[in-house]
Amino acid sequence: MNETTRSTYALTIALLLGPAIAHAADSAPSPIAQSSNGSNGSSAAAMAKSIMPQAATPAKADDYKDPDLWGRIRSGYAIPDIDNALVAKNIQWYASRPDYLSRTTGRASLYLYHVVQELEKRGMPTELALLPVIESAFNPQALSTANAAGIWQFVPGTGRDLNLQQNMFKDERRGVLASTDAALTYLQSLYTMFGDWQLALAAYNWGAGNVQKAIQKNRALGKPTDFESLADLMPAETRNYVPKLQAVKNIIANPAQYGVVLPAIDNSPYFVAVDKTSDIDLAVAAQLAEMSIDEFKALNPQFKKPVITGESTKILLPKENAEKFNLNLAQWGRALSTWTTHKITSARESIASLAAKLGTTPEVIRQANNIPPQMRLKAGSTILVPKTSATAGNDIAESIVENASMVLEADRGESRRSGRRLTRAQRIKASAAHAVAEIRSRVSRHARPGVNANGRKRR
């Protein structure tokens, strides 16, 4: 799993616009693009797609008759191989952990067809579909110490640069469709910058600015600037990054050679996208699709609250469950959503008093909003609350979805008023919860992190 910070997408596009991007083939020297300012995230993303040199002729899904998706991936390998001690070490690591590979491929079976299809549409090497194996083990809930999330492991700032929505209700860094599109666009831009897939992968892990500095250093010394020649200048994680992907690539290419048994993955779509036209409770959506909550969340991990908001939002369901969803929805006849929002306007408004007014319990409000015990809401916070008869027919406004935030503080005042003193352990727990809440609040305010000279975000 990647735990380093990505270079920002804005810097990547600025570099793309430099004078040295003419060399794009894998065999060409790695250009060092000049940085420029003022690039726009959304227009830059479109530009990256338009100028990307295709690595191969895009193929249609119908061209593939192999019933096993692994065979389809093997047929599209296009990144030059490396063969060194690190590759051998990582092959041994993966091959000696069959349970780990089994869990990883089990999760991958939900998403892998979509990733391969998107790679082929763009003419990109299909072994890039294996990158989430080393990033996240295909776990969309994976979260690194650098706050990188999802199967492609984007930190918040790079996610925003790539137009991945992150708010109180959802985090598209975890969503399968949005994050895959962002990751492939980002990888394309890095390939355009360096003209070499191995260096593009190193930049995905280490940051484009760092890879450029390493190239400049070797070039000044008259040394080669390919990945293996630059490896000694890289941190250990990046030095292992391409060998890890090579190791997984080798195992997929010939699993029997390494004593690995790969579970078959059908070469057909696992899910379809279903449009929704109003707010719907996550539990109701799962019920209509005749799926468990866990099964539903596995395909829709971007949703953070008990309600899925937005008219244009899509949910992913296996084909047979999508048919059940539409049939059951037509016969539902009840409210689809039981949640709305409430803004705390006064510091005196407690969770207990709000619960009493709404006819619910403090525990329901705390659980829906992930509010720890011994914590209270600061004025200005927006939270999720059960609907009442007065709000039954209203969906949550898009402006609220985009801008809502929640700020917590230790609930020392109410403890004193109730005559109960917190134990030392409770005080430590409350302080820790308060610190976490403050960090989450800052992340949700759309403040763009600073970028230092080598393109890595400050933390």
Same domain, 314 and 419: no
Residues 354-360: what's their mean pLDDT?
Answer: 95
Q: Is residue 458 one of the residues assigned to a domain? A: no
Instruction: Look at 251 and 41; give whichever has higher pLDDT.
Output: 251
Share of the chain above pLDDT 70, in %: 76
pLDDT score recorded for residue 445: 43
Residues 195-219: what's their mean pLDDT?
Answer: 98
Q: Is residue 269 one of the residues assigned to a domain? A: no
Contact indicator for 58, 222 with CB cutoff of 8 Å: no
Residues 4-9: what's their mean pLDDT?
Answer: 46
Same domain, 355 and 383: yes
Q: Is residue 1 one of the residues assigned to a domain? A: no
Cα–Cα dist 439/408, whole Å: 10
What confidence tier does 58 reach under pLDDT thresholds 50, 70, 90? low
* Annotated catalytic residue within 135, 228, 398, 414: 135
Q: Is residue 268 one of the residues assigned to a domain? A: no
Last residue of a domain, one of 224, 258, 292: 258
Q: Does the pLDDT of residue 381 top 60, yes or no?
A: yes
Same domain, 227 and 366: no
Instruction: Look at 9 and 170; give whichever has higher pLDDT.
Output: 170
Q: Is residue 266 one of the residues assigned to a domain? A: no
Q: Is residue 4 one of the residues assigned to a domain? A: no
Residue 350's CATH number = 3.10.350.10
Closest CA to 169 of 280, 257, 6: 280
Q: What is the mean pLDDT of the chain?
A: 83
Same domain, 244 and 311: no
pLDDT score recorded for residue 66: 73
Residues 83-101: what's their mean pLDDT?
Answer: 97
Closest CA to 445 of 380, 395, 377, 350: 380
Same domain, 65 and 156: yes
127 among known catalytic residues: no
> Which residue range forms the structural domain that includes residue 220?
9-258
Same domain, 294 and 402: no
Same domain, 98 and 186: yes
Number of domains comprising the chain: 3
H or E element that contains 98: helix 98-122
Q: Is residue 457 one of the residues assigned to a domain? A: no
Q: Does the pLDDT of residue 122 top 70, yes or no?
A: yes
What confidence tier does 54 reach under pLDDT thresholds 50, 70, 90? very low
pLDDT score recorded for residue 393: 86
pLDDT score recorded for residue 459: 28
Q: Is residue 456 one of the residues assigned to a domain? A: no
Same domain, 136 and 253: yes
Same domain, 311 and 235: no
What confidence tier does 131 reach under pLDDT thresholds 50, 70, 90? very high
